[in-house]
Amino acid sequence: MATKQEKELTVEERLKALYQLQTLLSEVDRIKTLRGELPLEVQDLEDEIAGLETRVANYDSSIKEMNDNIRHQRETIVQAQALIDKYKKDQDNVRNNREFDYLSKEIAYQELNIKLAEKVTGESTQRIESLNADIQGAKEQLEDRQHILSEKKGELDEIVSETRQDEEKLRDKAKKLEAKFDDQRLLSAFKRIRKNARNGLGVVYVQRNACGGCFNRIPAQRQMEIKMHKKIIVCEYCGRILIDPELAGVTDEDAQNKN
């Protein structure tokens, strides 16, 4: 709101200020359009790369665990074989059938442990081979995505470096213009209309006796009211704020020739 010392803006001055603000913001939008989908593409690639890196790390962790298990199983085989050798040697010195049968059962038990350990070792080895193939595929995919990301970032950085200074100047001008605006409700309404408008235009001038936003016809009496700049008038169809071409710096002839 304007202070007591500041002169309150007229409706015409407010409309001019809104149109100037829109011109600045539309230019910022144009700069964003130059960047196109690149920011989103870069973000998607970064997310995909992070996912691939996590996948490779998980594969590596699984392989490490399986290698540890293989070492444990091999130790089990060595220990079991040592016991078998011992029990077989002890069988040569048994005193009765009962001791011989006991040692035979122990030998069979250790042989079973060896078979189980060999089975686990074989399965783990096959799984490691499969994971290594998956890792190789993921790394190739990762390398491809990193190459594409590097190119996309280069394109984006080039566009940003070319337009950053212009965008900052435009945003600074828009910020200063907003700070001078004395009707915050109107400013908020303008921003809301602009946000919801397909082309980002919250203020449009009359073209060929129609709204410059939705192109619905405007009655002659309403057009006269728009030209008088005595009150804020919005399109009854699309809700955009209407101004006459003169406020936009456009001649009536140019407005009539607009598509």
Shared-domain flag, residues 117 and 63: yes
Shared-domain flag, residues 153 and 227: no
Assigned token pair, 112? 């079973």
pLDDT 10s digits, 211-246 = 999 999 999 999 999 999 999 999 999 999 999 998
Answer with the one of 171, 196, 230 that is the final residue of a domain: 171
Asked whether residue 4 is assigned to any structural domain, the reply reads no
Shared-domain flag, residues 114 and 167: yes
Instruction: Label the pairing between strands 241-243 and 233-234.
Output: antiparallel
Asked whether residue 231 is assigned to any structural domain, the reply reads yes
Answer with the one of 171, 199, 233 that is the final residue of a domain: 171
Look-up of token digits 């070792």: 121
pLDDT 10s digits, 127-154 = 999 999 999 999 999 999 999 999 999 9
Shared-domain flag, residues 149 and 108: yes
The whole domain housing 206 covers 11-33+183-257
Asked whether residue 18 is assigned to any structural domain, the reply reads yes
* Amino acid 20: pLDDT: 93
Assigned token pair, 192? 């809301």
**Confidence band of 257 (pLDDT split at 50, 70, 90):** low
CA angle centred on 257, ends 17 and 13, rounded to 5°: 15
Shared-domain flag, residues 17 and 58: no
pLDDT 10s digits, 57-82 = 999 999 999 999 999 999 999 999 99
Shared-domain flag, residues 73 and 130: yes
Say whether pLDDT at 126 is over 60.
Answer: yes
The CB-based long-range contact list for 155-164 (8 Å cut-off, 24+ gap) reads 155/38, 156/35, 156/38, 156/39, 156/42, 159/34, 159/35, 159/38, 160/35, 163/31, 163/34, 163/35
Structural domain count, the chain: 2
Answer with the one of 171, 196, 216 that is the final residue of a domain: 171
pLDDT 10s digits, 87-115 = 999 999 888 999 999 999 999 999 999 99
Asked whether residue 2 is assigned to any structural domain, the reply reads no
Cα separation, 3 vs 6, whole angstroms: 5
Asked whether residue 135 is assigned to any structural domain, the reply reads yes
Shared-domain flag, residues 136 and 73: yes
Strand order in the sheet with 203-205: 203-205, 241-243, 233-234
Look-up of token digits 């060929």: 208
Q: Give the domain CATH number at 155.
A: 1.10.287
The pTM of this model reads 0.59
Asked whether residue 3 is assigned to any structural domain, the reply reads no
Task: Quote the percentage of the chain above a pLDDT of 70.
Answer: 94
Shared-domain flag, residues 42 and 60: yes
pLDDT 10s digits, 183-198 = 889 999 999 999 888 8
